[in-house]
């Protein structure tokens, strides 16, 4: 349980009463009660109020807010407010301002704008966190700390350059080693003095965000910036822990956000929390995958849904309303996949600046007679009924899908073979194929223990880090099924090619050699032709993007390319290795193929779908002690019928359920039964 002071799914969200006067506060209290809101995330962007000047701290307003909330039954998720520095700080200490990739020193403005290497930012952010923790350590309203907000963005200033050089010295010790791993003899880059090293910005090696001359340098800069921001978080974390060792600490992450290595970050969070902002046309399975990834960051521990909009956003090109029922549906989707909180951005809609058209529980009209408020209040009631039933419930998947941020950086920086190669999309194809069959999977890191899985899928495992290949070999040897794809095993952790034939260190376990890699033009495809029928797979399937030209070296060929000069070369292989099997997909196949393929793998391993459902009805399961909670989430507009068997009850109504259940359009049914 995140904090046993509030043993239920927390309900509420970001609340900025400092933008309002007392009249609004009274109304807020009244409406929070009506909506069943019991948690407010406060103080997110209030550094300028908390610290009006260099030596003054003033928590009077925050005291009043927290006391008032607590009296009316609302606990707080207390932010440290360091996501945006005060204007006076930027004015007096320009080192807090970032330099952008074009080399421009920023002026005061915006948010998430502090240089992670700034001595001023580090000193004052940690100090403020400590002061807040000291001040609120005994406040009964305090449930959890929320450090800063949505860390992100890179800085290219001189302090960061100096920090980068220190980081490099620690990592590589000598310039010889640095020159080796960066392959600096290319384009005559040999460094003879650490001071010669500059950051890879658009003034030096990079352009267009992820194009670079030197992958090794750019990759290390991403590692360094992710680490530098994490260090800022850790400074605050340590200050807070001195005063409140037993209150959990988090910072809100952003799902598939590219710039930070969240697996590394998660090691330093007491609980993962994240902000979920899909748009109307985001594939449901992509949101599901992102929830699963956030759950996977800490090995399957429940996480917090820290933010979602009750109705619409303001920052997308087209800010559609969530259709009636969708807010509830997507809230339960989060819970079904491991969230123990449902929190919104925000509780009251602001009247000025760029978020005034962002949805909120309390709309500009100011009363509760709105569609959005009614939907929020209905869900609030349900979450009260659910009590602590679901808290800490876990997922028990037999399939792990590997996701790795450093691999993603390396692929995106790779300069070839194809600009169309998008790591997250490729991973999603595999996730989606299982999702459509209602087969559970976990999103896991390269460091995860594979032994708890029957099948491990590592799409486009381009970068193979030390120890990874051995781990795969052991897993397969002892009976596991491993699956990887084209453009895998190519480089090491420094983006240096593993010579001696692709897929490098994975070659042995896969029993193949990839001699060349072809990039297909947009709209072009090749075919994977099955050598013989296998389960539902027979005949031929389209494939696109990249085609590895491979030779089987012990692996059995399941499908061959159907056209072009490499017609007849292997396209899909399987290698028996010890007691297990290692599959290779040499190209990116159409969805029907992937579904048939993964279905076969599941059958080989005796992995069952959770349930059979009509298209558009998502199923997810959480297990607690001997009880299983099965979530039926109908993403269709129309009602759907689902056959659920017997021995279950509706977790909301406690009524017994058996046979066919009708799930209303955009509706949710939660079934509880023994495991």
Binding interface with ligand GLA (CB under 6 A): 149-150, 275, 277, 307, 313, 315, 345, 355, 358
The nearer residue to ligand GLA, 149 or 485, going by C-beta atoms, is 149
- Work out how close the CB of 149 gets to ligand GLA at its nearest, in angstroms, rounded to a whole number: 5
Count of residues in the chain: 675
Could you say whether residue 413 binds Zn ion (CB under 5 A)? no
Q: Regarding beta strands 648-650 and 656-657, do their DSSP bridges make them parallel or antiparallel, or are they unpaired?
A: antiparallel
Residue 411 touches which member of Zn ion, ligand GLA, none, C-beta under 5-8 Å by kind = none
The nearer residue to Zn ion, 117 or 148, going by C-beta atoms, is 117
Query: Which residue from 82, 117, 212, 346 is in contact with Zn ion, where contact means CB under 5 A?
Result: 117
Give the active site residue among 150, 206, 426, 473. 150
State yes or no: is 27 an active-site residue: no
E strand segments, 314-465: 339-344, 399-402, 442-444, 455-458
3-state helix, strand, coil split of the chain in percent (to 5) is 30, 25, 45
Cβ(517)–Cβ(485) under 8 Å?
A: no
Cβ(83)–Cβ(148) under 8 Å?
A: yes
The nearer residue to ligand GLA, 346 or 494, going by C-beta atoms, is 346
Q: Which residues pair with 330 in a beta bridge?
A: none
* Euclidean distance between the first and the last CA atom of the chain, given in angstroms as a whole number: 21
Residue 157 touches which member of Zn ion, ligand GLA, none, C-beta under 5-8 Å by kind = Zn ion
- Work out how close the CB of 161 gets to Zn ion at its nearest, in angstroms, rounded to a whole number: 8
- Work out how close the CB of 315 gets to ligand GLA at its nearest, in angstroms, rounded to a whole number: 6
Residue 313 touches which member of Zn ion, ligand GLA, none, C-beta under 5-8 Å by kind = ligand GLA
Residue 277 touches which member of ligand GLA, Zn ion, none, C-beta under 5-8 Å by kind = ligand GLA
The nearer residue to ligand GLA, 221 or 345, going by C-beta atoms, is 345
Residue 27 touches which member of ligand GLA, Zn ion, none, C-beta under 5-8 Å by kind = none
Question: If we measure between CA atoms, which residue out of 433, 483, 489, 479 comes closest to residue 458?
Answer: 483
H-run or E-run covering 143: strand 142-146
Residue 358 touches which member of Zn ion, ligand GLA, none, C-beta under 5-8 Å by kind = ligand GLA
Residue 131 CA to residue 243 CA, distance in Å, equals: 9
- In sequence order, which residues have a C-beta less than 8 Å from that of residue 135 and are 6 or more positions away? 59
Give the active site residue among 206, 236, 239, 307. 307
The nearer residue to Zn ion, 159 or 588, going by C-beta atoms, is 159
- Work out how close the CB of 105 gets to Zn ion at its nearest, in angstroms, rounded to a whole number: 10
Q: How many CA atoms lie within 13 A of 429 on its CB side?
A: 23
Task: Report how many helices (DSSP H) and strands (DSSP E) the chain contains, helices first.
Answer: 17, 29
What is the side-by-side strand order in the sheet with 339-344? 249-250, 142-146, 75-79, 39-42, 10-14, 339-344, 303-307, 273-275, 252-253
- Work out how close the CB of 350 gets to ligand GLA at its nearest, in angstroms, rounded to a whole number: 10
Query: Which residue from 78, 115, 271, 434 is in contact with Zn ion, where contact means CB under 5 A?
Result: 115
State yes or no: is 150 an active-site residue: yes
* Residues in 142-181 at the binding interface with Zn ion, rule: CB under 5 A: 155, 157, 159-160
The three-state secondary structure class of 459 is coil
Token pair 């965000």 is found at 209
Q: How many CA atoms lie within 13 A of 191 on its CB side?
A: 21
Q: Regarding beta strands 455-458 and 211-212, do their DSSP bridges make them parallel or antiparallel, or are they unpaired?
A: unpaired
The nearer residue to Zn ion, 259 or 556, going by C-beta atoms, is 259
- Work out how close the CB of 290 gets to ligand GLA at its nearest, in angstroms, rounded to a whole number: 14
CB-closest chain residue to ligand GLA: 275
The nearer residue to ligand GLA, 359 or 511, going by C-beta atoms, is 359
Residue 307 touches which member of ligand GLA, Zn ion, none, C-beta under 5-8 Å by kind = ligand GLA
The nearer residue to Zn ion, 159 or 331, going by C-beta atoms, is 159
Residue 434 CA to residue 609 CA, distance in Å, equals: 9
The nearer residue to ligand GLA, 49 or 386, going by C-beta atoms, is 49
Residue 284 backbone class (left: φ over 0; alpha: ψ -120 to 50; beta: rest): alpha
Residue 440 touches which member of Zn ion, ligand GLA, none, C-beta under 5-8 Å by kind = none
- Work out how close the CB of 252 gets to ligand GLA at its nearest, in angstroms, rounded to a whole number: 6
Residue 394 CA to residue 672 CA, distance in Å, equals: 14
- Work out how close the CB of 280 gets to ligand GLA at its nearest, in angstroms, rounded to a whole number: 15
- In sequence order, which residues have a C-beta less than 8 Å from that of residue 13 and are 6 or more positions away? 37, 39, 40, 41, 307, 343, 344, 345, 346, 347, 361
Residue 242 CA to residue 78 CA, distance in Å, equals: 16
- Work out how close the CB of 151 gets to Zn ion at its nearest, in angstroms, rounded to a whole number: 14
521: which DSSP letter?
P
Residue 295 touches which member of ligand GLA, Zn ion, none, C-beta under 5-8 Å by kind = none
- Work out how close the CB of 372 gets to ligand GLA at its nearest, in angstroms, rounded to a whole number: 15
Residue 345 touches which member of ligand GLA, Zn ion, none, C-beta under 5-8 Å by kind = ligand GLA
Residue 311 touches which member of Zn ion, ligand GLA, none, C-beta under 5-8 Å by kind = none
Measured between alpha carbons, how far is residue 596 from residues 436, 536, 603 in Å? 11, 6, 11
* Residues in 20-79 at the binding interface with Zn ion, rule: CB under 5 A: none
The nearer residue to ligand GLA, 307 or 440, going by C-beta atoms, is 307
- Work out how close the CB of 409 gets to Zn ion at its nearest, in angstroms, rounded to a whole number: 19
- In sequence order, which residues have a C-beta less than 8 Å from that of residue 462 and are 6 or more positions away? 407, 410, 411, 414, 487, 488, 489, 490, 491
Q: Which residues pair with 589 in a beta bridge?
A: 543
The nearer residue to ligand GLA, 175 or 306, going by C-beta atoms, is 306
Other Cβ atoms closer than 10 A to 357: 13
* Interface ranges with Zn ion (CB under 5 A): 115, 117, 155, 157, 159-160
Which residues are catalytically annotated? 150, 307
């Amino acid at each position: 349980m995140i904090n046993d002071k509030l043993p239920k799914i927390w309900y509420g969200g970001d609340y900025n009463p400092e933008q309002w006067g007392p009249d609004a506060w009274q109304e807020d209290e009244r409406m929070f009660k009506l909506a069943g809101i019991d948690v407010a995330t406060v103080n997110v962007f209030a550094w300028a109020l908390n610290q009006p000047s260099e030596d003054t701290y003033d928590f009077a307003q925050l005291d009043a807010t927290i006391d008032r909330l607590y009296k009316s039954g609302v606990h707080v998720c207390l932010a440290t407010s360091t996501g945006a520095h005060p204007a006076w700080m930027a004015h007096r200490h320009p080192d807090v301002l970032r330099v952008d990739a074009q080399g421009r020193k920023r002026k005061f403005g915006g948010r998430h704008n502090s240089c992670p290497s700034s001595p001023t930012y580090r000193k004052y952010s940690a100090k403020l966190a400590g002061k807040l923790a000291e001040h609120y350590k005994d406040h009964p309203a305090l449930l959890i700390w929320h450090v800063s907000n949505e860390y992100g963005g890179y800085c290219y200033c001189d302090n960061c350059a100096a920090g980068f050089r220190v980081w490099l010295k620690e990592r590589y010790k000598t310039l010889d080693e640095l020159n080796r791993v960066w392959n600096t003899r290319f384009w005559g880059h040999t460094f003879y003095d650490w001071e010669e090293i500059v950051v890879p910005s658009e003034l030096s090696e990079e352009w267009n965000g992820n194009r670079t001359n030197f992958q090794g340098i750019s990759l290390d800069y991403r590692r360094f910036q992710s680490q530098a921001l994490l260090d800022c978080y850790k400074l605050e974390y340590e200050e807070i822990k001195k005063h409140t060792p037993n209150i959990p600490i988090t910072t809100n992450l952003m799902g598939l956000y590219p710039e930070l290595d969240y697996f590394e970050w998660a090691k330093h969070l007491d609980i993962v929390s994240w902000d979920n902002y899909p748009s109307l046309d985001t594939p449901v399975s992509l949101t599901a995958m992102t929830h699963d990834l956030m759950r996977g960051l800490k090995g399957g521990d429940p996480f917090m849904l820290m933010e979602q909009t009750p109705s619409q956003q303001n920052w997308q090109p087209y800010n559609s309303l969530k259709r009636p029922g969708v807010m509830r549906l997507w809230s339960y989707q989060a819970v079904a996949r491991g969230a123990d909180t449902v929190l919104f951005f925000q509780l009251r809609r602001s009247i000025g600046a760029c978020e005034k058209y962002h949805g909120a529980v309390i709309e500009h009209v100011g009363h509760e007679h709105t569609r959005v408020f009614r939907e929020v209040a209905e869900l609030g009631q349900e979450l009260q009924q659910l009590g602590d039933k679901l808290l800490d419930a876990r997922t028990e998947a037999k399939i792990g899908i590997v996701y790795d941020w450093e691999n993603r950086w390396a692929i995106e920086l790779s300069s070839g073979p194809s600009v169309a190669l998008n790591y997250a999309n490729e991973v999603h194809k595999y996730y989606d194929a299982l999702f459509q069959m209602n087969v559970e999977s976990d999103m896991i890191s390269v460091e995860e223990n594979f032994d708890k899985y029957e099948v491990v899928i590592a799409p486009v495992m381009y970068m193979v880090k030390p120890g990874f290949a051995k781990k795969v070999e052991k897993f397969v040897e002892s009976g596991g099924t491993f699956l990887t794809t084209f453009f895998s095993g190519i480089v090491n952790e420094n983006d240096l090619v593993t010579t001696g034939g692709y897929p490098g260190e994975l070659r042995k376990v896969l029993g193949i050699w990839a001699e060349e890699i072809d990039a297909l033009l947009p709209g072009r495809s090749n075919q994977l032709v099955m050598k013989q029928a296998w389960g539902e797979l027979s005949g031929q399937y389209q494939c696109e993007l990249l085609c590895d030209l491979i030779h089987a070296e012990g692996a059995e060929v399941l499908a061959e390319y159907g056209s072009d000069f490499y017609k007849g070369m292997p396209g899909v292989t399987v290698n028996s290795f010890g007691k297990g099997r290692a599959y290779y997909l040499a190209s990116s196949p159409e969805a029907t193929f992937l579904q048939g393929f993964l279905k076969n793998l599941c059958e080989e391993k005796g992995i069952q779908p959770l349930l059979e459902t009509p298209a558009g009805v998502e199923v997810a399961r959480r297990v607690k002690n001997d009880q299983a909670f099965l979530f039926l989430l109908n993403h269709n507009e129309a009602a759907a019928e689902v056959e659920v068997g017997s021995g279950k009850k509706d977790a909301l109504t406690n009524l017994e359920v058996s046979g066919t259940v009708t799930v209303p359009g955009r509706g949710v049914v939660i079934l509880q039964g023994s495991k």
